[in-house]
Structure 1
Amino acid sequence: MFSLLVVEDERWIRRGICETIDWTTEGIRLTGEASDGEEAMRILARHSPDIVITDIVMPGMDGITFLKNLRDQKVDSKVIIMSGYSDFEYARNALKNGAFDYVLKPIHEHNLLGVIRRCVQELKHKRQAESELHGLIRSARETLFLARQRLFEMILLRKEPYSPGWIAEQMKTLQIDLHPTRTRTFAVKIVDWGRKAETDRDRALILYALCNMLEETGRRFGPAVAFPVHHQTTAGEAELAMLHSESDPHGRQEPAIVSDLPRLIDQAGLMLGVRISIGYSGEAHLNGLSEMFEEALQAAAFWFYDGGGSLCDAKRLASALQADIPYYGPAAWDRRFVSAMNVGDLKLLEQLVRELAEHMYAHQNKCLPLTIRRGLKLLFENVNQKSDAFHRRKQTDSTVTLDLPPCSLEAFADVLLETVSRALQDDRPSRSRKWIVERALQYIESNRDHTVTMNDVAAHLYLNHSYFSKVFHEEMGETFSKYVLRSRIEAAKRLLKETPLKIYEIAGQVGYNDIRHFTKIFKEFEGLTPMQYRDYGI
């Protein structure tokens, strides 16, 4: 809808224009009326209408002066002049000064509407053209932004050097003016997204704003380009990266931008509600961007030890790199954790989580924080694979996925334990003692034709054999070995009654390779040999 201002010194004409035409039907909203040019200028100081209908001869400021003032103040309204036959030359002068059109007095509604409708149509075309232009500009900016992001992600992921001059050529194409031999890489990790990031869209907007803040900070000290990095690029260890070349790096031990980065960290918390940590590399050639980014990631990861909201440079890595060793976690931790999850033993799970946290603390001086985090991810992947394999065999959907919690080492044990406890509560029906026995019986029945030991079943269920023996005995009212013997004899009795199979064939089907041993066990249970049992038809 377009806005309209009516300027006319004769009140009855002004009111007639305002009230006799159904402006809403024409897609127009009447926003004001004035009795002369001076009053109209005061209204225009508050808001600028799309269309102005004005008389040309008025006391004080006439229509021509009013029109010139509009143009001087660059008010972009469409002005329609009302003119009598006697002042037609005024109307021609008004058209020369930028009026859209004129209508002759006395005003006839259909004549005025004809001009108004043409004006509205032109305004619509103008809005559409502006919208298309803004769309093209926005699209060009987004395309350039995405192209830069794609280029740098390719460079950051590639370990082998590019051909000489290729990176410089791409930089020139994408209007990036980084220094070819003096560029530094920054990695930004969002440690805590805060309360404002409730949806994916919220996170995207926060990330966009933080990216702009980072690049603006960088450009105060030299050429800079900042961009988001996909989760796959850094495995979640950074959300943003920036490449920066200092304008005047000489005579400084640290880059000048470092003085402003603590303020950026504070602003991110105050304005966006996020806690971030920043790591940065030393200066190097653009061909070494991959190694520089790894340095920045390693530096940024010290938030895991420090708790976040920190700034760390690659110098801190120098001594730590000499002692850095791979991290695998406590011995057999993944297998033990899966067993505890399958049993649903929260006390045992808590012991395992605390054990893992203590193990990481013990390795804090031996491993870089990023080394520990990467080791944890592999450890948790092993847990998930073992758990998935178990549930596939059991044909159940109940599975708990273990993810690396987004918290510092200090909070790690509590956060992980809370996550596991909540998942265990949601999954508890399938983790009961009854569930364990049911799965054990299914396994025994499906392997009836060969010897099955208690250790076999416990391993199949990822359970400690002592715990499984205790649960089985309490739930079934007899020991595992006695149940297996009894179930085999029951199966043999059915086969003796219902089939013509020979005794040695029946012995083989119920898991006995030695017919004499089978006969002995059968007689101990039934007081008869298998042959006597068949002959008597009991």
Structure 2
Amino acid sequence: MNILIADDERAIREGIKRTIEQISPDYHVHLAAMATEAVQIMGSNRIDIVLTDILMPGMNGLEFMKISKHRYPLVKWVVISAHSEFSYAQEAVRLGARDYLLKPIGKKRLVELIEHLQPEIWQESERMREEEKLRRNLKFLHEGVLRRLASGLDTGNLDTQSLIQEYSEFYLVMVQLEGTRKRTGTGTEPVYPLEHFIVENVLSELIDTQGRGLVISYDFDCLLGLVVPDGDLEEFKDQVKGHLTHYLKIPFHIAVSGHIQDFDTIPQVVTQMRQASAVQAVEPAKGSGEKSIDDALLYIQEHYSEDLSLERVASVVYLNPAYFSQLFKLKTGQGYKDYVISLRLEQAKKLLLNPRLRLADIAGRIGYQDMRHFTQVFRRKFGLTPTEFRHKQNVKVI
């Protein structure tokens, strides 16, 4: 049995892992500190149980479960949290969580949970996984054909007839992501696999619930859906946009083709859609990214004494640094660096009122290891040194 533990607290992850391995050394336990790592693990391993914390950097545990359930219908989800708020437990149950465990998790409770889920997983392994495998094999075949057609490649010996018969007419929906590649020594690779995962799952779920079709990864920054909607295509597009606006934290663009009845025209249509995306400015949908900046501000408030480089905080909320910097200034009216300096120095002023604290201690508490640098920054901001500030406030150091 394969178990995934997704929690940003290392002690919690390791503690649960040790307990599970004591239950049975044969269990394979995978660890993830955030949703990005969990997505990669689930993509390369057949996971039976996921224990996910609610509050993780970037995508929280409930959102991670919601966005993943369509793709992994047989996985058993268990939510773990330090909060006993009823709303969290209620939402977890609504999303299909099998249990809601409060930290610290007792060994006895964890053993009972695993032993309860184990027979169900084994039973499903015999019957449902075979059925699921057959369905997925046909789906993979159709996706492979569509991927080659979209890229203008020869389909070779692949069975195209079953795909053509199933989809005699359809539309193509393309989602283009911005800022999802980085250069490496061997070419390019995705920077935000979680965002790619989100688009794939949102498109797949909406297609399955409001029609039928397929979703393929056309490129690192582009996904393509073949869809036969039950209702109005524009309404379907609006729903895709609404869901992606909620979940994505990078800019994206959606393009929809006209009505297609001939598979041979797919390469030409895809090329036209890609060209249209290239010349059209890719703007974030209204509201997308706002929650990310709110999360970033909260993170900064809680970690102002640590390394707070723009790159680090941008990675915590899954935004590329340039885009994060733009959004941050729009939201706060300040550049990122100026905001952090102001926050730290305001904290320093409060700490300077405590006569028991030495200047070196105060500098360290607000993230400055070099006291000379702290003094220079403080003087530039307020026109006097920390010591002069204390004298002005009549603070006598003990």
**TM-score when normalising by structure 1:** 0.28
**TM-score when normalising by structure 2:** 0.37
Determine which structure has greater relative contact order: mean sequence separation of CA pairs < 8 Å that are 6+ residues apart, divided by chain length: 2
Larger Rg: 1
Q: Of Structure 1 and Structure 2, which has the larger fraction of its residues in helix?
A: 1
